[in-house]
Amino acid sequence: MEEFNQFSSIRESLATAQSIFIALPKSPNYDRVAASLALFLSLKKAGRKVSIASPQEMTVEFSSLVGVDKIKTKSEGRNLKISFDYLEDSIEKVSYNIEGGKFNLVIQPKDGFPPLSSDEVEYSYGEGQADLVLTIGVRSIEDLGSLYKDNRGLFDRAKVIDINIEEEASLSEKITHLIADLRLPTDVDIASNLLGGIERATGNFSSPKTNAGTFEAAAFCLRLGARRITRKFPGPQRPKPKVPLEPMPAGVSATKSPEEPPSSDWLGPKIYKGDTRV
């Protein structure tokens, strides 16, 4: 019932949201990244305005996931911000003009103050904008790290829904059921990400948390043509049995007996006669 209520809440929020932001926690595992990317790609395929970010750069561990290059380290807005050190009453006028198809921002200093150095100018985008924030596998606000610290206004204004594991064996399993329940678009890439997350989180379905819902989610992905990512695990090395050495009989020497010298004609030419029979 709790999952049904959460899915209903997400459905209602998606119906009214103009822009969606998917946030990952610090040091996300493979399952979290796979589930987040699958949801991101599905919403993108549905024509929704959606972005995805994590407080940390993605590592080579996630290179097999489709769309991993879309995960940014911050939520970027559309407004360009120009910053520089400012001395009080040092600026006479700020104006702009358009010449040759270029927008020129003109900053005029007051008499007695040095002109602004281009080396001191910094460019950045303002705080990201979103109506709906979906956090994946986040237990506390501290898990979001810089994503929250740098975008407090975004989190304060938007509706925030955390998607976490309840009875499922993995987040990828939960997102699979969410996509199926909401009838969001799917394709091979989305299914492959989800199946990879399920397999990694459950140790190829060997986890005690694996249940009927896990196999149903995997079957859903396979029916969509999901590509399985094969991973080789080193098998256990069986120790070789130790054979006890029997003591040598008394009077037997372990020294090697001298070899007899070869006969004198050993190096001489020899004639071999063949016998061909049919």
Return per-residue pLDDT of the chain as tens, 278 residues: 345 578 999 999 999 999 999 999 999 999 999 999 999 999 999 999 999 999 999 999 999 999 999 999 987 655 666 777 777 777 878 888 888 888 888 888 888 778 877 777 766 555 567 999 999 999 999 999 999 998 888 899 999 999 998 889 999 999 999 999 999 999 999 999 999 999 999 999 999 999 999 999 999 999 999 998 765 544 445 555 565 556 656 655 555 555 666 566 655 555 555 555 54
Q: What's the pLDDT at 97?
A: 85
Please give the span between the terminal C-alpha atoms of the chain, in angstroms, as a whole number.
Answer: 88
Residue 116 phi/psi, 5° resolution? -70, 130
Instruction: Please answer whether residues 151 and 144 qualify as being in contact, where contact means their C-beta atoms are separated by less than 8 angstroms.
Output: no
Give the three-state DSSP class for 198.
Answer: helix
Q: Pick the closest to residue 9 from 159, 171, 158 (CA basis).
A: 159
Q: What's the pLDDT at 278?
A: 46
Rg (CA), the chain: 34
Enumerate the domain spans of the chain: 2-81+125-223, 85-120
Q: What's the pLDDT at 1?
A: 34
Q: What's the pLDDT at 188?
A: 98
Residue 116: burial class (beta carbons within 10 Å; 0-12, 13-18, 19+) = middle
- CATH superfamily, domain at 2-81+125-223: inorganic pyrophosphatase (n-terminal core) (3.90.1640.10)
Q: What's the pLDDT at 104?
A: 83
